[in-house]
Structure 1
Amino acid sequence: MDRLSGCCENMNLPPCVWFEGDKRNAYAAIVSGFMFFLGWWLLIDAAAVYDNGISNVHFVCGIIGTISLLMVNSVSNAQIRGDAYDGGCLGPRGARIWLFLGFVLGFASVIASCWILFANFVNQPNVKTYPGVALFLQCAFIFIGSTIFKFGRSEDLWG
């Protein structure tokens, strides 16, 4: 064992760009993108495996969650505070309303998918529950990815 303990001490690895300096924005983008991908992947998997489990109407929750992700992350924190946005007919108040509506859509998609899970999949006899669980997890992962992308980034690094 003593001969193997020093075998990796002389190994030189090239520096990794991802671990140099402050990479908070990159990490937030990677994690939130993976959560978004995983959510849609689960629902597409459930639709492919269970033909009778997922109908076209069940995709609406994920689409509303995706619209929520776009709405929440299209407004910067400076616009919310009123530092960088004076134009338009509503100014910072309009940006706050837009952000609020984005979060309302995100919560609504999660709540609607939970309702569909219990109403159509859990309480029904002889029905597989995985499509309902996949639908709920899709909306939950999209919402979690949206909040990670909104609050995990640092806007100070943009300048």
Structure 2
Amino acid sequence: MAGCLENLQLPPCVWFEGDDKRNAIASIVAGVLFFTGWWLIIDVQAAYPQAEQFNKAYHVCGVFGTISLFMINSVSNAQIRGDAYSGGCFGSRGARFWLFGGFVMGFGAVIASCWILFDDYVAYGEGKYSAWPGVGLFLQNAFIFVGSLVFKFGRTEDHWN
């Protein structure tokens, strides 16, 4: 059975050819996600400056998420495959371990922010305080982690065009 839109021909998108611009687009999207995450937590801190509304120690989640972003994206895909990196103390095995540590740190930051959201703002908050600080903290870490994934896996090559 043929589809009803099978014979529909759309003209090619002349103004955008994404093959040679994939690295730039991935970098822009990752940067916007990273910026949005930090902008949200700055908004939370500005709106809720008292420690009983938003504890300043919760910023550690965002700091670890940012360190995770740098760890994940400091290792190229060629180093992970073992194509471009054979020197050093650990070689490609050390690069893989570094990447794994970055992913663990990023997942840990997202999980910790989710824990803080539900433990402090959903379960025990119950109307005393707004849930926005917890939601903002979770969104910050989720955006940073997704931004690091977009930057790592959205690029086609390990060098800039």
TM range (shorter): 0.7 to 0.9
| Residue 117 to residue 92, structure 1, CA distance change in 2 (3 Å) | same
Counterpart residue identity of residue 142, structure 2 = A
* Deviation of 1:89 (Å): 1.1
Could you state the TM-score of these two structures normalised by the residue count of structure 1?
0.85
Could you state the TM-score of these two structures normalised by the residue count of structure 2?
0.84
Whole-angstrom CA distance in 1 between matches of 2:155 and 2:18 = 17
| Residue 118 to residue 150, structure 1, CA distance change in 2 (3 Å) | same
Between structure 1 and structure 2, the one with the greater Rg is: 1
Contact (CA 8 Å) 2:64, 2:109: kept in 1 or not?
A: yes
1:76-105 per-residue CA deviation (whole Å, 9 max, x = no partner) reads: 000000000011111000000000000000
Residue aligning to 1:155:
157
Residue aligning to 2:5:
none
| Runs of 4+ with >3 A deviation | 18-21, 156-159
* Deviation of 1:21 (Å): 5.8
| Count of paired positions | 144
Whole-angstrom CA distance in 2 between matches of 1:148 and 1:95 = 19
* Deviation of 1:127 (Å): 1.6
Q: As a proportion of its length, which structure holds more helix? A: 1
Residue aligning to 1:128:
130
The 5 A counterparts of 1:20-99 are: 22-52=20-50, 53-99=53-99
Contact (CA 8 Å) 2:41, 2:136: kept in 1 or not?
A: yes
Contact (CA 8 Å) 2:77, 2:158: kept in 1 or not?
A: no
The RMSD of aligned alpha carbons is 1.8
Counterpart residue identity of residue 88, structure 2 = G
Gaps of 5+ in 2: 1-13
1:113-132 per-residue CA deviation (whole Å, 9 max, x = no partner) reads: 00000111111231210000
Gaps of 5+ in 1: 1-14
Percent of aligned positions that are identical: 61
